Structure formats: C-alpha cells, structure tokens
Amino acid sequence: MRRILIVGAGQSGLQLALGLQAKGYDVTLMSHRTADEVRSGRIMAPQCLFPTALRHERELGLDFWTARAPRIEGLGVSVAGPEPATGGRTRVVDWLGRLDGCAQSVDRRVKTAGWLDTFAERGGRLVIHAATVSDLDALAGRYDLVLAAVGRGELASLFGHDADRSPPHAAPRRALAVACVHGLGPCPEHPGLDAVRCTLVPGAGELFVVPTLTLTGRADLLLWAGLPDGPLDVFRETTGPGEHLARTLELLERFAPWEYARATEVELTDANATLAAGRHAPTVRHPVARLPSGGLVLGVADTVVADDPVTGQGAGSAAKCAASYLASIVERGERPFDETWMRAAFDRHWESARHTTRWTNAMLGSLPGHVLDLMAAAATHQPVADRLARGVDDPSDFEDFFYDAERAETYVSSVVG
C-alpha cells in the first residue's frame, strides 16, 4: 500500500486525502487544528463551489450538505453609477444569469470540521500539528509522496516564484471583509431564487452577497472586496464584530443602497462571524519544492496557484486541483512519484487553472470598454447574461470572447442578430 503525506486540511488537502483514502491508499493528514477547534473558531474566507467543483465532491460522496445548503441557481451583477452629490447611488447595469446546475456555499467551519471527522472515522491517520520545513524534512523519507496544501506561510515559501505564469501584480489587489448574517430580506429582482449577487463599484471594489449554510443554519455572506487604501478598505481598525457589521452596513447604504434595503434587520450569526483578510498578492509558484535533505514536495492548489479572491474561485480551484491530482496519482500505479511525474501532474491541472488565473487577473484592473459593453448587453439579452454566469464555473469559455474587443463585439452581434 502506497503511503502518502498531505500537509494542510483545507478544501484541497481534505478532498484529496478523503479521495485517496477511498482508493485504498495509506494517508496521513497533518492539520494545525482539530475539528472542534475549527467549529468553535472564527469564520474563514468564504467559499462558493459552482457546478463542476460540486460534481467532484459528489463523485467522492463528500457532498454531505447538499440537502441543507441553499441551491444557488444564478449570478446577479450590478454596476453602481457615480455617487451623486446628494447621495443615493443607482445602478447603471443590472442583470441575472442562470447557471447550468446549482452552486452552493458551506461555511468552512462546517465543512472542514465535518471532513476532518470523516477522515478520522474512516481510519485515516490525522496528526494535529503546524508542520514546519524541518518536520517535512524528517518525515519525507517515510512516504512515497508528500504534498503541501498550505496556501501561505513557511511551507509555501519553499516553492519558488514562477515569473512566466504569475500575474503582473506584485502587491495585494483587494482587502476582504466578510460578515455572516441572519435576517437578510429576499431580493426583489428574483424572489424565490437564490443567487450570488455582485455589485461592481468602479474605482472602489466589489460587494458580494452569497447565500450560505453556517453553523446555525441558512444565512448570507456580506463580503466587501476593496481596493487597498480605497473607500471600502475600512476594516483594519475595527474593535469587534459589532463595529465590523456596522461598517459593513454603512458601506451598503452608501455604495449599494438596493442591497442595504434588504439588510436593515440583519444580525451576525454568531460571535465569530466576521473576518477582515485577503491582503495577499496573487502569484503562481513552481509546483515542486526540494527539502534541505533532497526530498521532494508537490504543491497543491493555492500553495502554487494563488489567485486573488475577487472572483470567488478559491475553493472551486482547490476542488478541481484535488480531483486532477487524485486522477494523476491513481493512474501512476506503483511507479515512483518522481519530479518528472510531479511536474506533469501540475501541468495537467494548469491546463484548467490557467483560465481561472487569467480571468481573475483581468477582473482586478479597470475593466476595458468591451467588457463593460458585455455587462450592458447582458442586461438586455439573457443568453449573454447566462454565458457570463456560466463562465464563473468554467472560465475557459471566456477565451472565446471576453478578452478581445473584436471577439466580444462579434459575439454580442451574433446574439442580438
């Protein structure tokens, strides 16, 4: 039986560990927190998995919360107009695109804790320890394959920067602030239908409203993604959850009053339901790291492809990476997991991940005119809205029309007739 060590118990590390466990591998998983510590801790960066990523969970029988989590069937996008001198912003664009299938968001405190318990119950070896480079150096020789699914920190720094694949952003591009709330009213534009709603505030950032399942049941995430030092980047000095929520609502009233109108009765779901985070520069790293003693480590998900969270692709990309690596590991059989194989396994994943990286980087800057034209066309032509929404699930489709003005115009013309 092949022995595999996975360091990191997020979406990718746990999904891969559980998938390998089901295939009969001897898996050791290192997590820096127990399941109970995760459940009782602060909310983590929110996640929303779109249909493809959810399918990977379903194929492994890990979709434990399908019946309880809101079924997200659409993506709504608004573009806020300029702020008038007298207040009261309006929307210059508003549309709702339908997904091909449903998306779902589950609080990572619920999912991570649940999967940690499942891994242990199924006989997996769970080690609670914040692993260091020296730990891996001492352990690597005992395993056929070592994988790091850690995102950032000392272990991530083992993986060198890949200048050819990395975005041209050397500094963080967004500061995130999230509050998980009960009591958000229904959206009048699509009553009875759950959708992720995104408001683009030119020159300031974005607002996301995401139906989710949390520790206390159905809830909604209010997430601001602000340009650093801009008008939405006001959460670093908050003194507690109450002030965090108050600032969230103040920004809603000023920049997205149509969303504020349904948020006047909200309250935090629990005392740990706020988070200010996200100050990490997007980067792509080389997929293989060498330990001081010569052992090799394969990077997983955002250990090596760290996209900005502005497009909400983090958890989905992690799920896709875990699925791709699982297939590569199983197909390898009894042959050694050497450096050549490691690089090939990453390249297989990169064929999909590169599209997410390109799209995310495109959304970080000022949107070009042809993209704004696409947004406007979506407001009056449902096929355009649906295609943009479904591109969130599969960003490779954007290659055909999103990045080039001529192709965008040709596409819209074909829809308009």
- Predicted confidence band of residue 169 (pLDDT cuts 50, 70, 90): low
pLDDT at 222: 98
Task: Read off the pLDDT band of 366 (50, 70, 90).
Answer: confident
Contact between residue 8 and residue 115 where contact means Cβ atoms under 8 Å apart? no
CB 298 within 8 A of CB 266: no
Clarify whether residues 206 and 347 are in a common domain: no
> Where is the domain boundary, 362, 381, 404?
362
- Band the pLDDT of 220: cuts 50, 70, 90: very high
* Averaged pLDDT, 329-337: 97
Residue 397 is predicted with a pLDDT of 97
The whole-number pLDDT of residue 201 equals 95
pLDDT digits (tens, 9 = 90+) for 175-185: 999 999 999 99
The DSSP secondary structure of 268-301, one letter per residue, reads ESSTT-EEEE-----EEB-SEEE-TTS-EEEE-G
Give the helix ranges, DSSP H, for 218-268. 241-255, 257-260
**Residue percentage of the chain with pLDDT more than 70:** 99
pLDDT recorded at residue 72 = 98
pLDDT at position 280: 76
More confident residue, 74 or 86: 74
> Is the same domain home to 310 and 346?
yes
Cβ neighbours for 270, distance < 8 A, ≥ 6 positions apart? 180, 214, 215, 216
Question: Are 110 and 229 in the same domain?
Answer: no
pLDDT higher than threshold 90 for residue 86: no
pLDDT in tens, 273-308: 999 976 778 899 999 999 999 999 999 999 999 999
Are 156 and 15 contained in the same domain?
yes
Task: Verify that 254 and 190 share a domain, yes or no.
Answer: yes
pLDDT band at 173 (very low <50, low <70, confident <90, very high): confident
Shared domain for 120 and 24, answered yes or no, is yes
Low-confidence winner among 68-82, 248-262, 278-292, 371-385 (lowest mean pLDDT): 278-292
Q: What is the pLDDT of residue 88?
A: 79
Q: What is the pLDDT, as a whole number, of residue 39?
A: 97
The per-residue pLDDT for 313 is: 93
User: Residue 64 carries which side chain, given as an amino acid letter?
Assistant: F
Could you tell me if 245 and 357 lie in one domain?
A: no
**What is the rounded CA–CA span in Å between residue 197 and residue 105?**
13
Residue 108: predicted pLDDT? 97
> What CATH number did the domain enclosing 268 receive?
3.30.9.40
Closest CA to 344 of 325, 359, 368: 325
Residue 339 — pLDDT band, cuts 50, 70, 90? very high
- Write the secondary structure of 340-402 as one string of H (helix), E (strand) and C (coil): HHHHHHHHHHHHHHHHHHHHHHHCCCCCCHHHHHHHHHHHHCHHHHHHHHHHCCCHHHHHHCC
CATH of the domain at 344: 3.50.50.60
Structure confidence at residue 365 as a pLDDT band (50, 70, 90): confident
End-to-end CA distance of the chain: 60
Flag whether pLDDT at 11 surpasses 70: yes
Give the mean model confidence (pLDDT) for residues 371-375: 94
Phi, psi at 90, each rounded to 5°:
-125, 170
Of 231, 255, 277, the domain-final residue:
277
Burial degree of 345 (CB within 10 A; 0-12, 13-18, 19+): buried
169, 307 Cβ separation under 8 angstroms: no
Give the tens place of pLDDT for each residue, 313-322: 999 999 999 9
- Both 230 and 179 in one domain: the answer is yes
Alpha-carbon torsion angle 384, 209, 372, 396, nearest 10 = -60
Q: How far apart are CA 312 and CA 321, in angstroms?
A: 15
Mean pLDDT of all residues in 346-365: 95
Q: CB under 8 Å to 306, separation ≥6 — which residues?
A: 151, 152, 280, 282, 283, 284, 285
State the pLDDT at residue 151: 82
Measured CA to CA, the distance from residue 7 to residue 150 in angstroms comes to: 7
Q: Which two tokens stand for residue 312?
A: 């909400």
Same domain assignment for residues 110 and 92:
no
The helix (H) or strand (E) run that includes residue 194 is strand 194-201
Q: Is the pLDDT of residue 145 over 70?
A: yes
Measured over the CA atoms of residue 253, residue 257, residue 259 and residue 264, the dihedral's sign is positive
Structurally, how many domains does the chain consist of? 3
CB of 67 within 8 A of CB of 137?
no
Q: Can you list the alpha helix ranges (DSSP code H) found in 122-224? A: 133-139
Q: Residue 412 and residue 260: Cα distance in Å, rounded? A: 32
Residue 316: domain span: 3-63+106-169+281-362
Examine the domain organization and report whether 237 and 375 are in the same domain.
no
Domain end position, chosen among 254, 277, 300? 277
Report DSSP state, residue 157. Answer: G
- The two three-digit tokens of residue 172, written as one number: 């963080």
pTM, entire model: 0.96
The reply to whether 247 and 224 lie within a common domain is yes
Say yes or no to pLDDT of 168 above 70: yes
Confidence tier at 267 by pLDDT (50, 70, 90): very high
* Residue 189: pLDDT over 90: no
The reported pLDDT for the residue numbered 278 is: 62
Q: What tokens appear for 352 in the block?
A: 């999909």
DSSP-derived letter for residue 158 is G
Look-up: residue for tokens 């969970």?
A: 57
pLDDT on residue 5? 98
Mark whether 117 and 92 lie in a shared domain. no
